[in-house]
C-alpha cells in the first residue's frame, strides 16, 4: 500500500510540473502583456523597464524556475496590471467563490439526486421521460443563456437583490449568492440526475435487491435503505471532483451577477494577459484536480487490493 501511495504521489507531482510548464509556454505564446496600454503603444523604453521590474527580461527557463521557487515559498508574485500581490487578490476572491460553489453543490445534489431516483424507480414513466428531457435540455442550453435570462427576469424581485446595485447597498450574502448559485447548479444538477439514474438502475438489478424484495421488504425500504446507499457512491465521487469545475464555472455566473470571485478574476486576467494571476489560479485548479483524483485513486486502491497490485 505504501508503495502504491508513493508511486501515485510521484505521478501527481509529475503531472503538476508538466501542466505548469505547458501553461508557462502557452502564456508566453499568448503575447506580450506590456505592448500596449489602451489603444496606445507603450514606448520601447517603458516596456523594457516593465519587463525588468517583473522579471520578464530573463530567459524562459529561468523565469519558470523562479516561478517554481517562489511557488514553493508561497509567493505568487505581483500582478502585472494593478501591481498588487496575487495572493491578496486571490485571497479576497476565494471565500466568495467557495461560498458560491458550496451553495451550488447543495442545490445541485438535492435536485439531481431526487430527480435521478424518481427517474430510475419509475423507469420509462412520464416522470422519467420528463427528467431525461429536462436534464438533456439543461446540459444543452449554454449557461450564459440561463444566466442572462435569470438576471433579466428574477433579479430585483422578491429577496433577490438588484443587479447592478450601488456597492454601498449591502445585501445579505445568502440573497446575493442565490441566483448565481442556481445558474451554476443547473447543469451539474442535470449531470447528477443522469448519474444517479444510471447508478440506481444498476443497483436495482443486483441480487441483494432481489433478495431484499424477496424478503418482503416494502419498496420504500428497499429503495431508500438498500439501493440508495449504494447508488449514491458515484455521485459522491463526482461531486468531489466537480469542485474544480465549479470553481471554473463561476466565471460566467460571477461576471453576470456582479459577484466578486476567482472566476471573474481569472477571466479579467486572461483579457489583460495578466500572467502571474493566470498562472496562480490555473496552478491552483490543477492542484485541486490532481489532489482529488489522487485521493480517490488511493481510496479505491485501499478498498480494492487488485488495483494496487496491478
Partner 1 sequence: MRKQAWLRAAAGLTAAALVLTACSQKSNEGSGDSDGGDSAPSAGWPETPDVEIKDGKPGGTFRFGITEPTAIDPYNGQESEGLLVTKQLFTGLVQADPDGNIEPGVADKWEANDDCSQWTFDLKTGTKFHNGEEVNSESFKRGWERVSAKASASEVAYHLTGIEGFDEMQAGTANALSGVDASDPAKLVVKLTDPNCEWYVRTVHPVFSPVPSTAGAPATNTAYVEAPIGNGPFMMDGPWQHDVGIKLKRFEDYSIGHKAYLDSVEITITANGSQDEYAGYQNGTFDWARMPTPVLEQARATYEPQNQWITRNTNGMNYLLVMGTQKPLDDVKARKALSMAIDRDAIINGVFKGSMTPATAFVPPVFPDAFQEGLCEACTFNLDEAKKLAKEAGLAEGTELNFQFNVDAGHEEWTAAIKDQLETNLGLKVNLSGVQFPDLLNNEQQPGASGIYRAAWGADYPTPSNFLQPLLSTEAIGAGPSEPTTGDNRGRYSNEKFDQLLKDGFATKDEAERIKKFQEAEKIAIGDDQALIPLWYRTQHRLANTEKFINLRMDFSENPDLYEISIK
Partner 2 sequence: MTTTPDPATAAQAVFVESAEHAGPGEAPEPQQQGKQKSHGQFADMWRRFRRNRLAMAGLVVVVILIVLALLQPVISPYDPYDQNLLNTLASPGGDHLMGTDALGRDLFSGLLYGLRLALLVGLLTMLGSMTLGVTLGALAGYRGKIADGLVMRTTDIFLAFPFLIGAILVVRTFGTGVFQVIIALVILGWPTAARLMRGQILALRESEYVEAARSIGASDWRIVTRHILPNAIQPVFIYSFTSIGVAVVAMASLAYLGVGVPPDTPEWGRMINMGIEQVQVAGKDFLWMFPSAAICLTTLVFAFVADGLRDSLDPKLR
**Contacts to partner 2 by CB under 8 A:** 11, 14-16, 18-19, 22-23, 26-27, 29-30, 129, 132-133, 136-137, 139-142, 144-145, 148, 152, 187-188, 191, 194-195, 198-199, 201-202, 205, 234, 237-238, 241-245, 248, 251, 266, 270, 278, 282, 285-286, 289-290, 292-293, 296-297, 300, 307
User: Which residues, 6 or more positions from 294, have their beta carbon under 8 angstroms from its beta carbon?
Assistant: 8, 9, 11, 12
The H or E element containing residue 11 is helix 2-30
User: Which residues, 6 or more positions from 237, have their beta carbon under 8 angstroms from its beta carbon?
Assistant: 296
- Residue 57 found at the interface with partner 1 (CB under 8 A): no
> What are the E-state strand segments in the chain?
36-37, 40-41
CB of residue 191 vs partner 1: minimum separation in angstroms? Answer: 8
Among 226, 263, 279, 280, binds partner 1 (CB under 8 A): 263
- Residue 92 found at the interface with partner 1 (CB under 8 A): yes
- Residue 175 found at the interface with partner 1 (CB under 8 A): no
CB of residue 43 vs partner 2: minimum separation in angstroms? Answer: 26
**Dihedral angle over CA of 229, 233, 235, 240, nearest 10:** 130
> CA 235 to CA 203: how far, in whole Å?
13
Binding to partner 1 in span 110-129, by CB under 8 A = none
The H or E element containing residue 126 is helix 126-140
Sign of CA dihedral 234, 239, 245, 251: positive
- Residue 64 found at the interface with partner 1 (CB under 8 A): no
Q: Which does 289 bind (CB under 5 to 8 A by kind): partner 2, partner 1, none?
A: partner 2
CB of residue 197 vs partner 2: minimum separation in angstroms? Answer: 9
Whether the Cβ atoms of residue 192 and residue 239 lie closer than 8 Å to each other = yes
Among 15, 19, 23, 42, binds partner 1 (CB under 8 A): 42
> CA 259 to CA 102: how far, in whole Å?
15
Q: Which does 61 bind (CB under 5 to 8 A by kind): partner 1, partner 2, none?
A: none
- Which string of b and e fits 34-70 if b means at least 16 CB within 10 Å? beeeeeeebeeeebeebeeebebeeeeeebbeebeee
Q: Which does 100 bind (CB under 5 to 8 A by kind): partner 1, partner 2, none?
A: none
> CA 208 to CA 227: how far, in whole Å?
9
> CA 49 to CA 64: how far, in whole Å?
20
CB of residue 94 vs partner 1: minimum separation in angstroms? Answer: 13
- Residue 156 found at the interface with partner 1 (CB under 8 A): yes
> Quick one: cell of 284?
491552483
- Residue 207 found at the interface with partner 1 (CB under 8 A): no
- Residue 162 found at the interface with partner 1 (CB under 8 A): yes
Q: Is the peptide bond before 164 cis (omega within 30 degrees of 0)?
A: yes
Instruction: Using alpha carbons, select from 80, 88, 90 the residue that is nearest to residue 276.
Output: 80
Q: Which range in 5-13, 160-168, 193-201, 301-309 contacts partner 1 by CB under 8 A?
A: 160-168
Binding to partner 1 in span 234-253, by CB under 8 A = 245, 248-249, 251-253
Residues contributing to the site for partner 1 (CB under 8 A): 31-46, 49-50, 52-53, 81-84, 89, 92-93, 139, 142-144, 147-148, 156, 162-169, 187-188, 245, 248-249, 251-256, 258, 260, 263-265, 267-268, 271-273
Amino acid at each position: 500500500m505504501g508503495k502504491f501511495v508513493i508511486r501515485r504521489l510521484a505521478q501527481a507531482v509529475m503531472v503538476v510540473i508538466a501542466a505548469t510548464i505547458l501553461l508557462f509556454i502557452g502564456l508566453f505564446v499568448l503575447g506580450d502583456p506590456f505592448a500596449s496600454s489602451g489603444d496606445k503603444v507603450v514606448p520601447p523604453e517603458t516596456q523594457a523597464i516593465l519587463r525588468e521590474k517583473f522579471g520578464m527580461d530573463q530567459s524562459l527557463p529561468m523565469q519558470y524556475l523562479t516561478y517554481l521557487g517562489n511557488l514553493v515559498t508561497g509567493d505568487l508574485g505581483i500582478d502585472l496590471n494593478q501591481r498588487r500581490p496575487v495572493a491578496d487578490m486571490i485571497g479576497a476572491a476565494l471565500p466568495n467563490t467557495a461560498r458560491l460553489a458550496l451553495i451550488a453543490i447543495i442545490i445541485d445534489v438535492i435536485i439531481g439526486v431526487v430527480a435521478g431516483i424518481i427517474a430510475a424507480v419509475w423507469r420509462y414513466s412520464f416522470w422519467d421521460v420528463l427528467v431525461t428531457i429536462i436534464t438533456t435540455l439543461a446540459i444543452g442550453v449554454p449557461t450564459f443563456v440561463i444566466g442572462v435570462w435569470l438576471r433579466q427576469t428574477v433579479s430585483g424581485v422578491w429577496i433577490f437583490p438588484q443587479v447592478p446595485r450601488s456597492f454601498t447597498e449591502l445585501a445579505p450574502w445568502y440573497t446575493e449568492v442565490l441566483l448565481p448559485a442556481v445558474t451554476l447548479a443547473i447543469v451539474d444538477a442535470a449531470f447528477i440526475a443522469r448519474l444517479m439514474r444510471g447508478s440506481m438502475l444498476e443497483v436495482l438489478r443486483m441480487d441483494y435487491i432481489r433478495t431484499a424484495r424477496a424478503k418482503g421488504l416494502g419498496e420504500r425500504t428497499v429503495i431508500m435503505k438498500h439501493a440508495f446507499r449504494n447508488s449514491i457512491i458515484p455521485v459522491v465521487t463526482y461531486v468531489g471532483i466537480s469542485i474544480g469545475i465549479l470553481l471554473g464555472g463561476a466565471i460566467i455566473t460571477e461576471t453576470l451577477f456582479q459577484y466578486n470571485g476567482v472566476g471573474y478574476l481569472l477571466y479579467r486576467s486572461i483579457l489583460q494577459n495578466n500572467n502571474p494571476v493566470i498562472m496562480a489560479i490555473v496552478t491552483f485548479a490543477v492542484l485541486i484536480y490532481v489532489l482529488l483524483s489522487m485521493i480517490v485513486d488511493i481510496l479505491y486502491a485501499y478498498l480494492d487490493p487488485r488495483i494496487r497490485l496491478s
